[in-house]
A and B are shown apart, each in its own frame.
Chain A
Amino acid sequence: MSIHDLPAALLQHLMFTVISVAIGFVLGLVLGILLSRKPSLSGVVLPILSVFNTIPGIVFIGLLFLVWGSHLATVLVALGIYATFPVLKNTYAGLISVDPQYIEAARGCGMSAGQSLFRVELPLAMPTIIGGLRMSTVYTVSWAVLASMIGLGGLGTFIYAGLSSNDNGLILLGAIPAALLAFVLGSLVDLLQRHVVPKGMRKAGEHA
């Protein structure tokens, strides 16, 4: 375990994060949309999800490892599910908080339910949804540390090795790149945010 292993571990960590977040984003978006179409269900679904969300990641990955063994899929599924929550919650919250006047206007203009969703509701909820994506990304970078626990590598390898050998340098060798990764990916999402927020909704001074 040395600094020469760092680039590979970083790359692997990045891969875990990106794939899981992609899975989580799609899943969260779809489930959030479905839930927002039936807000009466949210009274049941959201509490269940948030209880689930409080199960520590380490317990969940551990359980999944016991069932599936040490596979890439185990990590991706576990992280993907965790990445889903923030996106789902924000998608739901963003969609149901779209001012009803716009939905009524959309219906009154003769938009179908789908047209109203894609042309009006989703664009208006997009800032909130991307906020969820950002949270999801930053969390996943730290959760991905757990991958090494079941022997699948990533930056967590350094951290665990450092912990077991009482080598602070090794811990930092994993922790600092992980923190930087979270920062960089978070900034990338912020950049995306600027592009997806509808122009008319950007605050003054953000136009350029």
Chain B
Amino acid sequence: MLRFEHVSLSYGPQKILDDLSFEIQEGQMAVLIGPSGCGKTTTLKMINRLIEPSAGKIYINGENIIDKDKVDLRRHIGYVIQQIGLFPNMTVAQNICVVPTLLKYSKEECDRIVRRMLDMVNMPYEQYAHKYPSEMSGGQQQRIGILRALAASPPIVLMDEPFSALDPMTRRSLQQEVRSLQQKLNKTFVFVTHDMEEALDLADVIIFMNQGKIVQMAPPEEMLAHPATGQIQDFLGKFINDPSPKDLTAADFMRAGVYTVSASRGINECVSMMQRRNVDTLIVVDDQKKYQGTVSIADIRLTGHVVKTIEPLIRCNTPTVHAGDNAKDCFDLLISSGASYLVVLDEEERVDGIITKTSMASAMAEQLWG
């Protein structure tokens, strides 16, 4: 749908954009993100030819945009500028219909569009159509700015930090509106932001830029799972450390660094170890550190006088889980089994840690209250 091929831009010796190549599919919401000055706005403005590349090509539906008439191209690409830019000398209705008017739609058609557009964002026509921008709040103006970009039903819509000036509540609700509009209208959106939360919320695909280059282009889940660089990780920051509860695993709930003993250890040695650490069971592993089972102080008292090592006393009745298992399942298992703990194993069946009721409770508290 929208393809950049080796696009570069230099102002004199300064390289602003360096060999950008990417493709955005039809109906996708692509979000450009990156630190200030990395070239997001510049990239966006190249799509509607407000800025021309010094090298490389840009294709829309397979057509090189350099072959198209600039003015005509822009009438078929919606554009929301960062500063909103509603024309102060025009009413809301006139602002919404700027592009349809340029395309010479009839008066009735324009009026129909205004009604439909205002309806879409729940702003009554009678109340708002004939207001001037100066008579509206920032959030309302921003809505109209978005409607102006959508009015002529362009297949592509560009948005440059459209919500940057808004309070968090208004921003949330507008983000939801944009997302649902985009899904309803199935348009291709290119959205610039430097707010990672916004990017993760809205994007089908995130394009992370730095110093005029694309560092990583990936869907949000993939970027969260595998951030390409430390910088992206910093941008993702709290979102990495704050996975949603359903993504929590046994590893998040376990206590690591538990004591293990080898099966060849003598009875006396183990008893004193238990006393020293004030525990009533030990986790037993083999020479490769693989999990074998547990021995309990009760079993040692019962039969310990007839055996030398703990090996014959090993029991496998303690439930085990794997580090990647779903935390909720582990919780259920811990409660239903009545065991005092679960043993958490890694992929090689080595002991990673244990989940006790205490470790579970403190992990949950951590999730809840940070």
Contacts and interface: CB of A to CB of B under 8 A. Distances in A.
B102 A115 contact: yes
B98 interface: yes
A201 B134 contact: yes
Contact of B74 (A110, A120, A198): A110
B98 A109 contact: yes
B30 interface: no
A25 to B, nearest CB: 21
Contacts, number: 68
A195 B132 CA distance: 16
Contacts of A110: 71-76, 99, 102
A104 B88 contact: no
A124 B75 contact: no
B85 A104 contact: yes
A109 B102 contact: yes
Given A104-B81, A200-B134, A111 B102 contact: yes
Interface string B130-144: 001111000000000
B90 interface: yes
Interface string B81-95: 101111111110000
B166 interface: no
B89 A109 contact: no
A201 B89 CA distance: 6
B79 interface: yes
Interface in A158-208: 198-201
A115 B104 CA distance: 13
A102 interface: yes
Given A108-B48, A112-B71, A200-B134, A120 B87 contact: yes
Nearest to A203: B134
B345 to A, nearest CB: 58
13 contacts: A101-B83, A101-B84, A101-B85, A102-B85, A105-B79, A105-B81, A110-B71, A110-B72, A110-B75, A110-B76, A111-B102, A198-B90, A199-B89
A70 B185 CA distance: 73
A122 to B, nearest CB: 9
Contact of A109 (B72, B84, B99, B134): B99
A156 B221 CA distance: 84
A123 interface: yes
Contacts of B85: 101-102, 104-105, 108
A104 B75 contact: no
Given A105-B81, A105-B87, A107-B74, 8 more contacts: A101-B85, A105-B85, A108-B79, A109-B102, A110-B74, A110-B99, A112-B71, A124-B87
Nearest to B135: A200
B335 interface: no
B81 A108 contact: yes
Contact of A200 (B71, B89, B99): B89
Contacts of B79: 105, 108-109
B50 interface: yes
A101 B81 contact: yes
A115 B81 CA distance: 19
B3 interface: no
Contacts of A199: 89, 132
Contacts of A123: 89
Contacts of A111: 71, 98, 102
B297 to A, nearest CB: 77
Nearest to B145: A105
B70 to A, nearest CB: 8
B148 interface: yes
Interface string A102-135: 1011111111100100011001100000000000
Interface in B82-121: 83-91, 98-99, 102
A147 to B, nearest CB: 39
B72 A107 contact: no
B44 to A, nearest CB: 10
Nearest to A199: B132
Nearest to B102: A110
Contacts of B48: 108
A124 B88 contact: yes
A105 B146 CA distance: 12
A109 B81 CA distance: 10
Contacts of B86: 105
A111 B87 CA distance: 13
Contacts of B75: 109-110
A109 B88 contact: no
A102 B102 CA distance: 16
Nearest to A197: B89
A111 B85 CA distance: 14
A110 B50 CA distance: 10
B88 A200 contact: yes
Nearest to A201: B88
